[in-house]
Amino acid sequence: MADGFVNILVFALYGYAMAGTVFAVFFIWRGAEKVDQQARGTGLGFRLLILPGCVAFWPLLFKRWLGAIGEPPEERNPHQ
C-alpha cells in the first residue's frame, strides 16, 4: 500500500519539476524582464543562475508574470 503512495508522490514531483523546467525556459527568455525591471539587459550567466529558483518557484512566478505585477511593493516599516 505504501509503495503505491510513494510511486504517486515521485510521479507528482517529477511532473512538478518538468512543468517548472518548461516554464523556467520561457520565463528566463521573456518573463524575467516583465517581473523585474533590473533583469533587463542581463546576460546568460545571470539567467542560468536564476534557473533553479524559477524551476522551484514556478507557480509564484507564473502568477506574477500573468498579473503583470512587476516590481514588488516597497517595504514600509521602521527597520528600513
52 inside domain: yes
Residue range of the domain that includes 42 = 2-67
Q: Other CB atoms closer than 10 Å to residue 19's CB: what's the count? A: 14
pTM of the model: 0.76
79 inside domain: no
80 inside domain: no
Say how far apart CA 60 and CA 47 lie, in whole Å. 18
pLDDT in tens, 28-80: 998 888 888 888 888 999 999 999 999 999 999 999 888 866 566 677 777 75
How many domains does the chain contain in total? Answer: 1
73 inside domain: no
Closest CA to 68 of 42, 24, 31: 31
32 inside domain: yes
12 inside domain: yes
* pLDDT for residue 76: 76
* pLDDT for residue 74: 72
